[in-house]
A and B are shown apart, each in its own frame.
Chain A
Amino acid sequence: MFSEKVLAVKNLVKSYHGIRAVDGISFGVAAGEIVGLLGPNGAGKTSTINMILGLLEPDAGEISVFGKNFKTHRSEILSKVSFAAVYAQLPGNLWVEQNLRIFAILYGIPNPKEKVQLLMQEFELTQFARSKTAFLSSGEQSRLNLAKAMLNDPKLILLDEPTASVDPSTSEILRSRILEYARANQSGILWTSHDMYEIEAVCHRVLFISHGKILLEGDPKKLPAEYGKKNLEELFITVAREPLTLSHEP
C-alpha cells in the first residue's frame, strides 16, 4: 500500500541517568501513511519524537528523513518536517498572526503573508488574527498549533497528542483536516495519543511501546482481535500493565 519511506528510524537508543528511555527501536513511516505511536506515560514516545526533531541527541542509532541522514542535513530536513504538541504552545504574548508570520519566515515560505492568511481562514482563526495567543481557548490554541504545523507544506508531520484538551467536536474537525491534508499531499504522520478511538479512526498502523521497546505493531483495527482483546483500549491497558501476559491468538 505504501512504498516511499519518509522516515526511517534504526536501533534508536536514549538513556537518562543510566535508565533506558528508548531501547533500540526501529520503525519507518511511508509517504501518505499515518502511524500511531502508543504507550503509557514514560514509555519513550516523546523522547522518540524529540530525537526525530533533533531536540534530543540519541545515544545510538540512526534517523533518516526523506532518505537523508538527520545529522548531516538538519536544516534541509526540518524545512519539510513539522510538529505540533499540546505542550509546545506558541508565545502567548504575540498575536496569532505574528506567531504564524514568524514561523512562516523561519520555514522559508515564499509568500508568508498570503500563506498565513490562508491558514488562518482554513483553521478558522481569522477573527483572532490580532488577539494575543495566550487569550485563546485550548481548542483555538490547538487549531493554531496545527495551522503552524501546516505552514511549510510538510512531508512528515509529528503530532504529540495534538487533540489533547480539546472537546470531541473540535477534535473531530482537527482530525479530518489533518487526514485531508495527509491524503492530498502524501505526507507521512507519526501520531501519539491516549485516545484509542482517535487512533483507530486515523492510523493505518500502530506501534505499541513500553519501557522504550516496541512490543506490538500492526493494523489498529485488527490488532486487538489478534491478541484476544475486545478493542484497542483493552489492548493498550494490557500492554501498559501486564505486557508479559500478551499472546498472539492463533
Chain B
Amino acid sequence: MNALRIYAIFLRQFYLNRRSVGRIFGFFYWTTLDLLLWGLIMIYISRLGTSNFAFAAVILGTIILWNFLTRIQHGITVSFLEDTWTRNFINLFSSPLTLAEYATGLVLTSLTTALISVIFMAGLAWFLFAYNIFQYGFMLLPLITILFVFGWALGLFTTAIILRLGPSSEILAWSIPALLGPISGVFYPISTLPVVVQKIAAFIPVSHVFEGMRQVVLTGSFDAGRLILAGVLSFVFFLAAYWFLVRSYRRVLRLGLFIRFMTD
C-alpha cells in the first residue's frame, strides 16, 4: 500500500467538499434534524412523567452513535458514487492505484466527515438538551470503534453491490443502513422484536452495541462478553465485505464493466 496514493484519494474528496456549500450543508443537515426531532420527543415524554427510565440518556446517545455509523457508511459510498457520477474509474484504475489503496482513501474520507458530523451533533446535544455523550467515559471508545469497523463493512459492502449492479443501484447506498435500524434494536430492546428477528439481530454487531449502551444507563455496568462478541462480529463483517468488494472488482475487470459506469 502506498500512503501517497491513499492521500490522493482523500485529497480528491477534500477538494470536492471544501468549497461546496451543498456538500458541507449535508454533513450537518440530517444530524441536526434527527437530534432536534428526538430531543423534542424526549422532552415531551419526560414531561409526561410516567416512567423513571432515562429516555433522554438512551435515545440521544443512540441517535448520536447511530448517526456516526450511517455517516461512516455514507461517507464511503457517496465518495465512491462521486467517482461514478464523474466517470473517473478509467482514469483512476489506469494509474498505479490499487483497489486496497482506493478503499482506504474512501475509509479515511468517511472517518473525517463522520467525525465532523458527530462532534457537531454532540456539541449541539449538549447546547440544546444539556446532554453529554461523554458521560459514558472510556466505554465510548470501544463502542465507537465497533461502530466504525461495522460502518466500514457496510460502506464497502454497498460499494461492492453498486460495482456489481451498476450506478443505477445507488438507492442501496441509502436503503441498506435504513433496513438495519429496525431489525437490530437500535432504538428499542431486542426483546421487543419477534423471536425470529431477535435471532437475526444476534448476528448484527450494532444490536449488541445499543443493547449494551442501554444496559450502562440502566444498571451502570456493561457486559464485556457482549462487547467482545460485537467487536469480533464487526471484524468478520468487515473482512467479508472487503472480500466481496475484491470479488466484485475482479468481476468488473473480467466483464469489462467499467464502461457501464459511463453509460448506466
Is the beta-carbon distance between B262 and A87 smaller than 8 angstroms?
A: yes
Overall SS of chain B's interface: helix
The smallest C-beta distance from A138 to any residue of chain B, in angstroms, reads 15
Is the beta-carbon distance between A88 and B5 smaller than 8 angstroms?
A: no
Bound CA–CA A35/B251 (angstroms): 31
Nearest B-chain residue to A89, judged by Cβ: B87
Which of A47, A78, A105 sits near B8, CB closer than 8 Å? A105
- Report the interface size class on chain B: 20 to 34
The smallest C-beta distance from A72 to any residue of chain B, in angstroms, reads 13
Which of A47, A81, A91, A103 sits near B86, CB closer than 8 Å? A91
Number of A-B contacts (CB under 8 A): 89
Which residues B214-264 have CB closer than 8 A to chain A?
250, 253-256, 258, 262
Is the beta-carbon distance between A54 and B91 smaller than 8 angstroms?
A: no
Quick check: is B15 within 8 A (CB to CB) of the other chain? yes
Quick check: is A243 within 8 A (CB to CB) of the other chain? no
Chain B residues whose CB sits within 8 angstroms of the CB of A191 once the complex forms? none
Quick check: is A228 within 8 A (CB to CB) of the other chain? no
Overall SS of chain A's interface: mixed
The smallest C-beta distance from B258 to any residue of chain A, in angstroms, reads 5
Q: Considering residues B7, B11, B86, B254, which has the most beta carbons from chain A within 10 angstroms of its beta carbon? A: B86
Bound CA–CA A55/B262 (angstroms): 14
Is the beta-carbon distance between B88 and A91 smaller than 8 angstroms?
A: yes
Chain B residues whose CB sits within 8 angstroms of the CB of A53 once the complex forms? 93-94
Is the beta-carbon distance between A103 and B95 smaller than 8 angstroms?
A: yes
Is the beta-carbon distance between A55 and B258 smaller than 8 angstroms?
A: yes
Is the beta-carbon distance between A108 and B86 smaller than 8 angstroms?
A: no
Chain A residues whose CB sits within 8 angstroms of the CB of B82 once the complex forms? 91, 93
B-to-A contact residues, CB < 8 Å: 2, 4-5, 7-8, 11-12, 15-16, 82-83, 86-88, 90-98, 250, 253-256, 258, 262
